[in-house]
């Protein structure tokens, strides 16, 4: 007994530096300003294990639309414990015939694990100018290098489920169709910078809700 008390005394000395407010993590406090490195940190007294656990990927996304697919994300806006830690996740649900349209992420590379089903996945490189694509089966993993256009679609006859991870807590998702046809970019500019025909642009603007 006598032995323990002195050790405890020194232990508290060893930890004199841990009485400050800087933590081993920085859980997002959405009510404070955010900066280039992410959100401000929640006060330690308010952090619990629930900040580090997220259950939103446990539920399949709705795949009843025409693309028959859904992306459900666990990015820092949904999952505050990711803040500052350089990782995020998402689940891809692809019904039979489902497709995740071609897109990029402004931040980070992506790795995919096929939980169930059969998925054709690929990315396009400009150097060399090549599309790398392959059919992935249950248990396969594929890496999509940073910043390159990539896509996934179900090539099997059962629904497919995949888990993806990206090395940014806030990687963004830039679907090319939404970028071109789903915002305020005028059709004339879309056509000029893509060489797409006017009829094609207007047809897809109607689909994706673009104005202008």
| Residue 110, marked binder | yes
* Residue (123 or 160) nearer to a second copy, CB: 123
Q: How far is the CB of 184 from a second copy (least distance, A)?
A: 5
CB of 160 to a second copy, least distance (A): 14
Partners of 164 in beta bridges: 90, 112
What is the spatial distance between Cα 121 and Cα 100, in angstroms, rounded to a whole number? Answer: 9
Q: 49 in helix, strand or coil?
A: helix
- Cα(30)–Cα(212) distance, rounded to whole angstroms? 33
Pick 76 or 160: Cβ nearer a second copy: 76
Residue 103 annotated in ligand binding: yes
- Supply 196's token pair: 């797409």
Q: Contact at 8 Å (CB) between 86 and 54? A: no
For a second copy, give the closer residue by CB, 16 or 157: 16
Neighbours of 141 (CB within 10 A): 10
Nearer to a second copy, 115 or 158 (CB): 115
In the complex, what is the shortest distance from the CB of residue 158 to a second copy, in angstroms, rounded to a whole number? Answer: 16
List residues bridging with 110 in a β-sheet: 144, 166
Q: How far is the CB of 79 from a second copy (least distance, A)?
A: 7
User: Which residues belong to the annotated binding site?
Assistant: 103, 105, 110, 150
């Amino acid at each position: 007994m006598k032995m323990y008390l002195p050790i405890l005394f020194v232990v508290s000395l060893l930890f004199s530096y841990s009485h400050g407010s800087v933590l081993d993590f920085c859980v997002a406090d959405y009510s404070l300003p955010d900066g280039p490195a992410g959100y401000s940190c929640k006060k330690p007294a308010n952090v619990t294990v629930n900040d580090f656990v997220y259950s939103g990927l446990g539920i399949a996304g709705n795949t009843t639309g025409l693309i028959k697919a859904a992306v459900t994300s666990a990015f820092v806006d949904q999952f505050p414990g990711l803040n500052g830690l350089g990782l995020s996740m998402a689940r891809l649900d692809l019904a039979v015939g489902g497709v995740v349209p071609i897109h990029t992420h402004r931040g980070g590379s992506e790795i995919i694990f096929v939980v169930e089903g059969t998925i054709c996945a690929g990315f396009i490189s400009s150097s060399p100018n090549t599309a790398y694509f392959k059919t992935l089966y249950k248990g396969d993993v594929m890496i999509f290098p940073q910043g390159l256009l990539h896509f996934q679609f179900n090539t099997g006859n059962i629904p497919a489920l995949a888990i993806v991870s990206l090395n940014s807590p806030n990687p963004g998702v830039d679907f090319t169709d939404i970028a071109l046809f789903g915002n305020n970019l005028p059709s004339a500019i879309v056509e000029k910078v893509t060489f797409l025909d006017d009829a094609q642009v207007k047809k897809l603007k109607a689909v994706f809700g673009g104005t202008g």
